[in-house]
Structure 1
Amino acid sequence: MNTKRIFVKTRMTNVLEKAITNIKEWKEVKVGDKILLRGSTTFTPFERSARDHGDNTDNLKAYRIVVTKEPRRDGQLNAFTGEACNYSPIMTNNFDMADDHVVFFYNARGTQEREFDVLKNDFG
């Protein structure tokens, strides 16, 4: 399978949390009645796995992660970032789109998938 662009919601891992600390510029974004922060940085996944298996890490691709962070209600700090926030990262190989456009594009895709789910499952 060949794809030109990927947009994947990623799971939070220790490595990803460390990468988030590289984001120095956060932009305020209003979503409904909430003020969230959004930023991006490059991220190379699978480096540790490649090293553990003796593979060359020079062949790994770097991706962009666009992260939206929201303050936690309980105030619990994240050990790596030192912030009391929940993070929502999206990984993409598109370095040209604005951060907001990446999130909107990803969310639009999810909306379409929910429509397909309704079509497949609600009409027996």
Structure 2
Amino acid sequence: MKCEDGTMEVGSIEITPFKRQSPSNKAQTYRLVVKRKPKKDRQIDLITQDIYDYRAIITNDFDLDTKGVAAFYNQRGNMERQFDILKNDFGWNNMPFSSLNKNLVFLYFTAICRNLYNKIIQHFSKTNRYLKPTYRMKKFIFRFIILPAKWIKQSRQLKLRIYSYNHYQT
């Protein structure tokens, strides 16, 4: 399997956890899928003495091959992250209305706002070096919207002085 910075190695074994606690014929067999990929910084881990990040999946799906299971759970994790963004950045945690139809409109509208936000941030990240397309809403707001600034008069002109570590042209 390919990942961002090299290949991801995937392996699996069958395990039967809790054999001692379960009755003799009721123990269920699971599949343990372990993925590893090289760390971005290539730093050796003190405990494992290698340069890999490990992820593990326990599943009872024996139909898919090992790479198929890893791809399925990667896609599932990606969808969970998308819902996390919608819940925390776009207000899906607290529904504003008591009516289901009104809340459905709210969900559709905020999903459209999220798509617009992604397009806008992708567009402006190409021209602004301080902006990355992976920024979440809160980071974007604190880096670009909520900035201390004041108008100063300099040589009979009003200029906006932005107080930030980033040097913006005003």
Q: TM-score range by the shorter chain?
A: 0.5 to 0.7
Over the residues paired in the alignment, what is the CA RMSD in angstroms? 2.5
1:36 partnered with 2:14: no
- Unaligned stretches of 5+ in structure 2? 92-170
TM (norm. structure 1) is 0.56
Bigger strand share: 1
Alpha-carbon distance in 2 for matches of 1:33, 1:119: 28
Alpha-carbon distance in 2 for matches of 1:95, 1:121: 35
| Equivalent residue in structure 1 for 2:36, among 69, 80, 83 | 69
Alpha-carbon distance in 2 for matches of 1:33, 1:70: 8
TM (norm. structure 2) is 0.43
Count of paired positions: 87
| Equivalent residue in structure 1 for 2:61, among 75, 80, 94 | 94
Alpha-carbon distance in 1 for matches of 2:90, 2:80: 16
Which structure carries more relative contact order (alpha carbon 8 Å, separation 6+)? 1
- Percent identity over paired residues: 40
Provide, for residues 91-116 of structure 1, a one-character-per-residue CA deviation record: whole Å limited to 9, x for no partner.
11111101111111111111212222
Contact 2:5–2:38 (CA under 8 A) maintained in structure 1 = no
| Equivalent residue in structure 2 for 1:58, among 16, 21, 25 | 25
**1:71/1:109 Cα in 2 relative to 1: closer, same or farther (>3 Å)?**
closer
**Counterparts of residues 1-124 of structure 1 (less than 5 Å):** 29-47=1-19, 50=21, 55-70=22-37, 73-74=43-44, 76=46, 78=48, 84=50, 85-124=52-91
Bigger helix share: 2
